[in-house]
Amino acid sequence: MRAKYVLAEMLVGLWRNVTMTIAMIITMIVSLSMLGASLLMYMQVDEMKGHYYEQVEVSIYLEKTVDDTQRSEIKAKLDSDPLVKSVLWETKEMAYENFKQQFRDAPDLVNAIGADELPESFRVALKDPQKFDQINATYAGMAGVDTVVDQQKLLQKIFDILGSIQNLSLVVAGFMGLAALLLVANTIQVAAYSKRREVAVMKLVGASNWFIQAPFVLEAVFAALLGSILAWVMLVVGKIVLIDGKLAALTDLLLPVSWGNVNLMLPILAGIGSVVSAVTAWVTLRFYIRV
């Protein structure tokens, strides 16, 4: 009986103030989907780091004038270096084949480069990718070495860009979240004001505090749950249309976003949204409904 009363009061309250309810839900959708997107990006960057750092290499490009002694000296040093996991020697021919393969969509570029214009190199996998500086110090000055390139540095730039997109969406999520909270507080105030007579009588006859406050708090939680479900739908649509649709070509590089992660956002967003709005509603009521 009591649960039924509380639920009925909650729905009446939401409906009585329906424009405010809609505004509250919309801001919640935007802020929660932003939050969800940045969480997804965070998980994505983490997965990508794991994936790419496994195969990250240091490329030691050799000068065109390198001779066999210099080459075998470098090779011997690499083979005996404790920091090195494995070494692959890429000849000019192999470099050209890889190049043709990578740029097969751009035949003009391939035709412009001759078969022996690409430098030969050693592809070195490190036991610890962080130790690039030591490798660089050892090999950069050796005779026959042109440059030493750390692929991790290239990846780092991509991760930095992703990181700043992620920070931006967190900031937007924060601002929209603040707006959503203010709307929750306002909605609760209006609801409490429109039921002030009932509240006064309930206090007078000794209704318990939770019983007086529950319908208002549930209003906020209900809006938050609805908002988080719709925010999750936005993420799903975003994955289908953007990640798997328009940006599908990039997923070779960026790795596809998994459904598992997207689905994980539903409970996370619903949890964060409902707890935060319940607390906001409760705090608002502390000021408006005194014992």
Partner 1 sequence: MTKTYPKASRPSLDDVSVSIEKGDFVFFIGPSGSGKSSIVKLMLHEIKPNKGKVFVNGKEISSMRSWKIPSFRRSIGCVFQDFRLLPNKTAYENVAFALEVIGKSKAVARRVVPEVLELVGLGGKEHRYPHELSGGEQQRVAVARAFVNRPLILLADEPTGNLDPDTSIEIMRLLDRINRTGTTVVMVTHDSNIVNQMRRRVIEIEGGRIVRDQARGVYG
Interface residues with partner 1 (CB under 8 A)?
Answer: 1-2, 5, 197-198, 200-209, 211-212, 291
Phi, psi of 104 (to 5 degrees): -65, -20
Q: Which is nearer to partner 1, 205 or 253 (CB)?
A: 205
Q: How far, in Å, CA of 54 to CA of 179, rounded?
A: 42
Q: How far, in Å, CA of 116 to CA of 129, rounded?
A: 30
Q: What is the DSSP string of 74-124?
A: HHHHHHH-TTEEEEEEE-HHHHHHHHHHHTTT-HHHHHHS-TT-SPPEEEE
Q: How far is the CB of 203 from partner 1 (least distance, A)?
A: 8
> Rg of the chain's alpha carbons, rounded to an integer?
30
Q: Which is nearer to partner 1, 104 or 197 (CB)?
A: 197
Q: Which is nearer to partner 1, 103 or 211 (CB)?
A: 211
Q: How far is the CB of 281 from partner 1 (least distance, A)?
A: 19
Q: How far is the CB of 5 from partner 1 (least distance, A)?
A: 7
Q: How far is the CB of 15 from partner 1 (least distance, A)?
A: 15
Q: Which is nearer to partner 1, 91 or 209 (CB)?
A: 209
Q: How far, in Å, CA of 208 to CA of 217, rounded?
A: 14
Total H helices, total E strands in the chain: 11, 4
Q: How far is the CB of 1 from partner 1 (least distance, A)?
A: 6
116 token code pair: 């022996």
Q: Which is nearer to partner 1, 9 or 120 (CB)?
A: 9
Phi, psi of 274 (to 5 degrees): -75, -35
115 contacts 93 by C-beta, under 8 angstroms: yes
9 token code pair: 């009061």
90 contacts 150 by C-beta, under 8 angstroms: no
Q: Which is nearer to partner 1, 16 or 75 (CB)?
A: 16
DSSP β-ladder status, 84-90 and 57-62: unpaired
Q: How far is the CB of 206 from partner 1 (least distance, A)?
A: 3
Q: How far is the CB of 209 from partner 1 (least distance, A)?
A: 6
Q: Which residues contact 168 (CB under 8 A, 6 or more apart)?
A: none
Q: How far is the CB of 32 from partner 1 (least distance, A)?
A: 33
Q: Which is nearer to partner 1, 202 or 254 (CB)?
A: 202
Distances (CA, A) of 28 to 129, 145, 227: 42, 57, 5
Q: Which is nearer to partner 1, 30 or 212 (CB)?
A: 212
DSSP 56: -
